[in-house]
Structure 1
Amino acid sequence: MIGSRFSAAAETYDRHAQPQLALAKAVVSMLPKTAPEEILELGPGTGQLTRLLLERFPNVPIDAVDVAEMMIAHSRKTFAAYPQINWMVGDAQTFWNGRRYPLIASSAALHWAADLSATFENVFQSLEPGGIFSLGMMLQGTLKELHQLRREISPEKTPGITLPTYSEILEALKSAGFRLKRRQHAEEKILYGDAKAFLRAIHEQGVTGGKVSSGNAPLTRGELSRLVVDYQEEFASDGGVYATYETAAFLLTK
């Protein structure tokens, strides 16, 4: 399900991915200056973090693994000039190619994992002793305005699963065996032209229909119309509307 949603968004994702790019920059800002021998990137998507890793470590081989086949196909074409990137379809929760890496990086991807604890445990096993895991995550406060209105308009269709909290991520990382070196925790309001533009933006990022925005049944046409009107009225700012994104970046070691 997650792979198919993000495959469908491969061509449109970057148009609206300002919060994701900011998170990727935070992930890279934490990295040591010394280049590793190779990198495993989990959930590269359209390559926002990949591009930043190339800028920081231009000659380092990167194994880039994503569950969405169309994202891999899109990025393979986009980064065709960089033969040091090996693009692979795979799930971060189970991916294992028999190798351990000195640096594993991921941004705006692993919060979609079906089992976050199992995913972190798998990442830990894929990291060499003393290696670095640089991680960026979207947290539960992301799109809280939208969640509030959905609960008010159609409480029986409220998503039953949410993004992880900051404390849940810390606990899962600790349980997997990681040692925390640095962390950043931020909340930012992003402005959109209007409510329709906001909903279109998250749809084109593959978020619509995901576990943070979809309930057990789709909104009716009338409920969707009310959502647009209410969002426009309740969350107006500077000539548009805003949406909150809560993020965290971590630098960890094994």
Structure 2
Amino acid sequence: MTSWRMRVLRYMLIFALIIVLLFPVYWMVLTALLPTRILLSPSPPLIPPMAEINFDSFWRVFELRPVETWLANSAIVTSGTVVACVVLATMAGYSLSRLASKFALAVGYSLFLVRLIPATLLVIPLFMMFGAIGLNNTLRSLVIANTVIIVPFAAWLMKSFFDSIPVELEEAAHADGCSRLRAFLIIVLPLAKPGIGAVAIFSAILAWGEFTFARTLIQGDAGVTVTVGLVSFVGEYTADWGALMAAGLLSVGPMVLLFILLEPLLISGLTSGAVK
């Protein structure tokens, strides 16, 4: 087979894969834009009739539910989780990489074992602990719970980035009179920007989409996050599919925006520190 045929076949496979991956999102958009009677018909259209498209579902979700409060709560929890995970994972990853010892590896593996425990097994102990210290039904409890789950894997992710940074760069900085902390801040940390960006995106996606802790640790309506709030559109006998998909699309938007904002960080850190 000639090279151009291989290239065409490769592009066709990529295009088919993109269609398969994006089709659920496309159907969410259709569900949000079309009336329910059309979607629940025996033969729902793949290409929407333009005359039937409307944005009523997007306006209706704000009338039916406090979606803006859900988004604000999720943003607070996600922001706190990202900051805590980036700071803790960076320090833990650097320690595992540069201060390697049998004890450090044992601690690292014990951290990783925490990530293997299902969240459903941790939610009851965390609920009891937060109740004892008065943190139940607060957004801070969600930040702490999410951090406990995310940091172990994020620390090992940062360790792999620090392992790829030559130790000789720090040794040269030490020879010039830099302390370990200063060498870490001005030499190692700029080179670790791709890892920091990856950890931030990884933490944000998991914290934004977390459901188990948000459902269990928060009682009442004031602290409801968007993942818990979306469930309220599904009733015992019926579901408002248009409003549900519209709210779902609104909840996806912040994560898409975050990825767009952090993508330069993932790329710029590859070489920025090496030329300083």
Which structure is richer in relative contact order (CA contacts within 8 A, separation 6 or more)?
Answer: 2
TM-score in same-fold range (> 0.5): no
Structure 1 length as normaliser, TM-score?
0.22
Structure 2 length as normaliser, TM-score?
0.21
Q: Which has the higher helix share?
A: 2
Query: Rg: which structure is higher?
Result: 2
